[in-house]
Chains A and B, each alone.
Chain A
Amino acid sequence: MTTSTTDPRLLVHAYVDGELDPANALELERQLANDPALAAERERIEALRRTIAERLPREAAPVGLARRIEAAVGARPAPARIASHPSWRALAASVAVAAFLGSGATWLALSPAPADADMIVANHVRALMAPHPVDVDSSDRHTVKPWFSGRIPEAPRVVDLSNDGFALVGGRIDVIGRTPVPTLVYRVRQHLISVSALPAGRAAAMPAEQIAGYDVVSWTDDGVTYWAVSNVAAADLNAFVKAFRAATPEGATPNPSH
């Protein structure tokens, strides 16, 4: 939405929905500060959204519906098909994995502690279930980064990826083991992506994997290992990682316009 001539009473809805681009959002914030009637409207919209989200009864699809539809198209749910074929191959594979794990502690020492990936997923899941997935709630990286600076020794690299379709939601501090770790949260469509930044010495990046249905991707740049976790499509997560790595960090803008 880029029309700054549109009625602010209309735009305030897009603002509350996080649909305004940064320039228009800034302009609207200025108007909100100067116009109590508009600010009251914003509060009403937010109250209405909360009320709908919290009070309106949700109804699951009737139990029989999925079965009738599956019967109509002859499709069975995917998991049942897998479960119905416990094969010797799966058994052989698990033996092979056990043998591989048992073959030496070197493999374990060189690979990242698997627990890190688990904890990163756990932090992401917990954030999704909490009332707020972030501790600092801002789409402005110039707000998010200083927030970290006041709390942990090293603030993470915060990049603006809104042009790539990934809106910054904010940041939070997760704890991995006993280490407080900065985590940024981005949104693509309705999904959140958490990116945690760990000192590279702690754990090497590892191949992409799936844990509990969440895709986890990690990579190392400039001595920092990043872990991105989300339930977006794998292609979206890869696009995110690519955009994140390619983005110019703040302070190194090639064309400083202001």
Chain B
Amino acid sequence: MVSLSSEDDQARFASVVLPHLADAYALARWLTGDRADAEDVVQEACLRAFRGIGGFAGMNARAWLLTIVRHAAYTWLGKNRSASLLVVDDLEAVERQQASGASAFGQEPQTPEAALIAGADARRLEAAIAELPVPFRETLVLRDVQGLDYREIAEVTKVPIGTVMSRLARARRRLMQRIAEGEEKAGS
């Protein structure tokens, strides 16, 4: 049993969890899409982390905390936004079908020049990330916003490293297409 008043646990919590609070909040915000909800999720996650701090064996503190935050965020999404938690297998099958359909008609989805991507508007980029399905969004955020490596992302999202790579590729591809579409609209 963990004693809630243990000085040791409190010191461990302060050194293991608190330094990564900004990352925890950022992930929660990207997953829930809302600041107030993100605070609730992080607070819940931190309580869980505190209860589990005795079992933390000095591995990667950030990945450990983010795993707990993600779990808390999924619980929250399940309660409040169950539609956003589509089964990933379905999602990836749909994507594959769409991709093969497009190439069969000789219509590769449009891909913008690198320069266009480099000049993309921050607001539009943020909106495009927010539109990504959750599994792709979390993979992209963990990698390109928070800088975790594939192994850590695999640990946090509980999928094989190969899946991390393919989700990341899909997420980036979608963002590029969204940027291209946005430019087209803005230009016309």
Residues of A with Cβ closer than 8 Å to B? 1, 3, 6, 9-11, 13-14, 17, 19, 40-41, 43-53, 55-62, 65-66, 68-70, 72-78, 189-190, 233
B144 to A49, Cβ gap below 8 A?
yes
Q: Per a CB cutoff under 8 Å, which of A51, A58, A65 touches B125?
A: A51
Closest to B5 in A: A74
A8 to B172, CA, bound (A): 15
Q: Identify which of B25, B114, B147 gathers the most chain A CB atoms within 10 Å of its CB.
A: B114
Q: Per a CB cutoff under 8 Å, which of B15, B144, B161, B172 touches A53?
A: B144
A44 to B144, Cβ gap below 8 A?
no
Given known A-B contacts A10-B169, A52-B145, A61 and B14 have beta carbons under 8 A apart: no
Considering only residues 22-62 of chain B, those with a C-beta below 8 Å from chain A are: 22, 24-26, 29, 35, 39, 42-43, 46-47, 50, 58, 60
Contacts of A68 in B (CB 8 A): 43
Closest to A188 in B: B149
Closest to A11 in B: B165
B21 to A69, Cβ gap below 8 A?
yes
B125 to A47, Cβ gap below 8 A?
no
- Counting CB contacts under 8 A, is B126 at the interface? yes
Contacts of A65 in B (CB 8 A): 21, 25, 39, 42-43
Q: Please, could you name 20 A-B residue pairs with CB atoms under 8 Å apart, sorted by A?
A: A1-B162, A9-B169, A19-B149, A40-B114, A43-B114, A44-B111, A44-B117, A47-B115, A47-B118, A51-B118, A52-B144, A52-B145, A56-B125, A59-B29, A62-B35, A65-B43, A72-B43, A75-B50, A78-B14, A189-B149
Number of interface residues of B (CB under 8 A): 53
- Counting CB contacts under 8 A, is B94 at the interface? no
- Counting CB contacts under 8 A, is B175 at the interface? yes
A1 to B161, Cβ gap below 8 A?
yes
Considering only residues 68-122 of chain B, those with a C-beta below 8 Å from chain A are: 111-115, 117-118, 120, 122
B60 to A189, Cβ gap below 8 A?
yes
A53 to B143, CA, bound (A): 11
Closest to A52 in B: B144
A14 to B47, Cβ gap below 8 A?
no
Question: Per DSSP, are chain A's interface residues mostly helix, strand or loop, or mixed?
Answer: helix
Contacts of A45 in B (CB 8 A): 172
Contacts of A60 in B (CB 8 A): 22, 25
A73 to B165, Cβ gap below 8 A?
no
A46 to B114, Cβ gap below 8 A?
yes
Q: Per a CB cutoff under 8 Å, which of B18, B29, B47 touches A72?
A: B47
- Counting CB contacts under 8 A, is B134 at the interface? no
Contacts of A72 in B (CB 8 A): 43, 46-47, 50
B24 to A61, Cβ gap below 8 A?
yes
Closest to B22 in A: A61
A70 to B21, CA, bound (A): 11
A74 to B168, CA, bound (A): 39
Task: State how many angstroms separate the Cβ of A115 from the closest Cβ of chain B.
Answer: 30
A51 to B10, Cβ gap below 8 A?
no
Contacts of B21 in A (CB 8 A): 61, 65-66, 69
